[in-house]
Amino acid sequence: MANLAFIGLGNMGGPMARNLIEAGHKLTVFDLSQSAVDELVSAGAHQADTAAAACSGADAVITMLPAGKHVAGIYLGEDGLLASLPAGALALDASTIDVQTAKQVAQAAADAGIDFMDTPVSGGVAAAAAGTLAFMCGGTAEAFTRAKEILSGMGNDEKIFHAGPSGAGQVAKAVNNMVLAIHMIGTSEALAMGVANGLDPAVLSEVMKASSGNNWSLQVYNPWPGVMPTAPASNDYKPGFMVDLMVKDLGLASDLAHSSGVTNHLGQLALERFRTHQAAGNGGRDFSSILETLLDQ
């Protein structure tokens, strides 16, 4: 088992760190929230006073942070994690950030003799707690071999993918979440149309799941309240994947499409819809609450 550091113990990072402890790893944690740290310490983790101190002597560090500026800020510079990790260590950034920042940090890590991979995740809070996350990894094949031994403590082996070189994980995450947003809106529209014409949303959901309209939103994340008891929609659209985060991810997808010269009309429409929903005060609610914008019309 490895000596690991974990930085960022939010809704996703906290349960991910807990699963690493349960997998038998020695874990040192740091977060600006003392209550989040205390919860992990009670589960068997060691506490560090700073992010850099958490990395002292670590075989690997896992970071789960809000945005690219936070990732660059914590890894780079004289006091950054790359300066604190021992040579030959492994750095895994599970944050969802822009491709350019991922590549920038990867190059700085390579210069410092450290293997770095961007390893964004998919599956949401429930998968983080269950240890069934999907990981999309960007970096060298050698780093991926090392990373998989650690990531398997937080996700299913068959869902841990080597997407390609540095930045490839972030590309895969951006395009995946763009499709997620699009099919959540489409699923919501379909259910609203069916109910408006007298269909039971639960029955219609089963019809579509058995037909060509089947998708992830129908299978595990139904947006219609009461159809799926375990989905956020059945708990006033919480907890889950916040609208704020979907807007962020769709923005990353939009930037990626623009820089690649690819037209993504549906991605842009999804971004507009979620931005409008966010501006109406729904940023902290689960993204499946986009259904409510159809019912208000």
| Position 60 confidence tier, pLDDT thresholds 50, 70, 90 | very high
Share of the chain above pLDDT 70, in %: 99
**Whole-Å CA distances, 120 to 64, 145, 162, 244:** 9, 16, 11, 17
Give yes or no for residue 111 having a pLDDT over 80. yes
- Please give the structure tokens belonging to residue 170: 């972030």
CATH number of 3-166: 3.40.50.720
* Pairing verdict, β 3-7 and 60-63: parallel
The pLDDT of residue 123 is 87
Catalytic hit among 26, 103, 148, 173? 173
Peptide bond into 232 cis (omega under 30): no
In the chain, what percentage of residues exceed pLDDT 90? 92
pLDDT for position 296: 63
Residue 37: band (very low, low, confident or very high) from pLDDT cuts 50, 70, 90: very high
Bridge-partner residues for 26, per DSSP? Answer: 3
3-166 and 171-295, same CATH topology: no
Q: What is the pLDDT of residue 239?
A: 82
User: What are the beta bridge partners of residue 30?
Assistant: 7
Q: What is the pLDDT of residue 202?
A: 98
Task: Please determine, for residue 1, whether its predicted confidence score (pLDDT) is greater than 90.
Answer: no
Residue 267: predicted pLDDT: 97
Structural domain boundaries of the chain? Answer: 3-166, 171-295
Residue 173: active-site member: yes
Model pLDDT, residue 297: 55
Mind listing the pLDDT tens digit for each residue in 205-228? 999 999 999 999 999 999 999 999
The predicted structure's pLDDT at residue 176: 96
**260-286 mean pLDDT:** 97
Mean pLDDT of the chain: 95
pLDDT of residue 287: 97
User: What pLDDT, on a 0 to 100 scale, did the predictor assign at position 175?
Assistant: 97
The whole-number pLDDT of residue 2 equals 86
Q: How confident is the model at residue 141 (pLDDT cuts 50, 70, 90)?
A: very high
What would the pLDDT profile of 227-237 be if each residue is shown by its tens digit? Answer: 999 999 999 99
Of 297 and 105, the structure prediction assigns the larger pLDDT to 105
Note whether 92 and 63 are within 8 A (CB).
Answer: yes
Q: Which residues of 200-236 are buried (b: 16+ CB within 10 A; e: fewer)?
A: ebeebbeebeeeeeebebbeebbbbbebbeebbbeee
Residue 54 has pLDDT above 80, yes or no: yes
pLDDT at 198 over 70: yes
pLDDT of residue 272: 98
Tokens 């019809």 appear where? Answer: 207
- Say if residues 2 and 62 touch (Cβ distance below 8 Å): no
Overall pTM surpassing 0.85 (yes/no): yes
Q: What is the pLDDT of residue 191?
A: 98
Task: Provide the CATH number for the domain formed by 171-295 in this structure.
Answer: 1.10.1040.10
Give CA–CA dist 187/182, Å, rounded.
9
Per-residue pLDDT, 292: 96
How would you classify the pairing of strands 3-7 and 26-30?
parallel
Cβ pair 254, 264 in contact under 8 A: yes
